[in-house]
Amino acid sequence: MGLLATRRILLGLGGGIAAYKAPELVRRLRDAGAEVRVVMSAAAARFVSKLSLEVVSGFPVGDDLWSTDDARIVHTDLARDSDLVILAPATADLIGKIRHGLADDLLTTTVMAAKTPVLVCPAMNTEMLDNPLVQDNIAHLRSLARYTFLEPGVGLLACGITGPGRQPDPPEIIEAAAAVLADKDLRGLAAIVSAGPTREPIDPVRFIGNHSTGTMGFAIARALAARGATVTLVAGPVSLRTPVGVARRVDVETADEMLAALTELWPSTDFLAMTAAVADYRPAQRSQEKIKKTDASGDSAMPPTLALARTPDILKTLAARPDRSRVMLLGFAAETHDVIDYAKAKLVDKDLDAILANRVGVPESGFGPGDNIGTLVFRDGTFVEFARAPKELFADALVAALAPRLTHLARRSAHA
């Protein structure tokens, strides 16, 4: 089951150059579990073939307001039979027409007739996007609850200039679509997720690090944000894009920097998920110059001995704060053996509210973009087992298991 399992998506294509990406988007939406029907404007049909879209979606593509199928009115049926409309690319023209309630083709008529949420993905050249009329249309639609906008990306555009206006890639659109459809039961919850490794410098070019990629933490941040939480992501050095909906990202490098960032954020936090793989040790001394393998005379130098010092225990430090009980603390235990026993011991030792025990060092789970398997253990001894799943889905299941306790915190914050 994917992020959009069993959801019925109506994908509307405006006539922008990014329409050529639509077949890939349809395929990815279907991979995410959605049923996809496509409606395209006449201009869109100049950029992408109807046939490709029919083949990848598995349904006829709508492009004619005046066609009837067994005397049914196509645009009202399409509008009624969808859970979400995605407009990608949303051209300046399409946005303008919708803003003004115009409906002169199948696409605009369907949008006017639909009662579902609409995810709008503007894609156009930077000058068009910057045009005050376009901005005014976007601002007006944004003010209506039904329309959610996905910010266009910055990049090299078809017109040859680099700037904002690029249609985001399918994974971003899928995240945004899942977020639009998700229950907002965590609205009001201020959450922090730490993710990724830390790097402890040896000299200006070398460091002690670990295999963490940040994938799990980023997925949890996305899942929390999709349910309405205000999420700050504190990330070690990773090469991942900030998930859709995450309010703020703070990039850090060392364990000391991570502790400093979390300490600063702590006073306004209800929930901290500490997924980061923080180094336990750092070099006792950081060399200001690159350590050479030859000595001054050019001979091979003796291999240096690296003295190590403990890094701060971030969870323990935060758990020792006087206002500790205000914050729900979720720790993570990545172990290679006796996973649950070590996790329970860590929960008690660090004074956590819950811990996710997962297995590393086995092919199907652990570091990297693959799957995860784990057990969530609460302080009261209750636990939830999670079957093997891709990390995105694992994160949704984990947040769902935490939600009853988190909604309580969200309500408390809302009334504070």
Ligand X SMILES: Cc1cc2nc3c(=O)[nH]c(=O)nc-3n(C[C@H](O)[C@H](O)[C@H](O)COP(=O)(O)O)c2cc1C
**Cα angle value 318/225/198 (rounded, 5°):** 45
Rule CB under 6 A: is residue 44 a binding residue for ligand X?
yes
The CA distances from residue 37 to 7, 66, 251, in Å, are 11, 18, 39
- Span near ligand X by CB under 6 A; candidates 84-92, 183-191, 192-200, 307-315: 84-92
Residue with tokens 């006829």: 60
Q: What's the start-to-end Cα distance of the chain, in Å?
A: 38
Cβ burial of 364 (10 Å; 0-12, 13-18, 19+) is: exposed
- Options 35, 63, 93, 253; binder of ligand X; rule CB under 6 A: 93
Rule CB under 6 A: is residue 2 a binding residue for ligand X?
no
Catalytic, 121? Answer no
Coil, helix or strand at residue 359: strand
Q: How many residues bind ligand X (CB under 6 A)?
A: 16
Smallest separation (angstroms) from ligand X to the CB of 97 = 7
Rule CB under 6 A: is residue 43 a binding residue for ligand X?
yes
- Span near ligand X by CB under 6 A; candidates 36-44, 293-301, 343-351, 364-372: 36-44
Rule CB under 6 A: is residue 168 a binding residue for ligand X?
no
Smallest separation (angstroms) from ligand X to the CB of 38 = 13
Rule CB under 6 A: is residue 62 a binding residue for ligand X?
no
Rule CB under 6 A: is residue 41 a binding residue for ligand X?
yes
The one-letter code for the residue type at 258 is: M
Cα–Cα nearest to 328, from 381, 406, 268, 244:
406
Annotated catalytic residue within 159, 205, 301, 308? 159
Measured distance CA(322)–CA(218) in Å, rounded: 29
- Options 94, 221, 235, 328; binder of ligand X; rule CB under 6 A: 94
The one-letter code for the residue type at 394 is: F
Q: Which of residues 120-159 bind ligand X (CB under 6 A)?
A: 123-124, 128
Measured distance CA(404)–CA(271) in Å, rounded: 13
Smallest separation (angstroms) from ligand X to the CB of 59 = 20
- Span near ligand X by CB under 6 A; candidates 37-45, 182-190, 288-296, 349-357: 37-45
DSSP bridge pairs for 251: 235
Rule CB under 6 A: is residue 109 a binding residue for ligand X?
no
The two structure tokens encoding residue 314 = 């971030």
Mind telling me the catalytic residues? 159
Residues that bind ligand X (CB under 6 A): 14-18, 41, 43-44, 89, 91-94, 123-124, 128
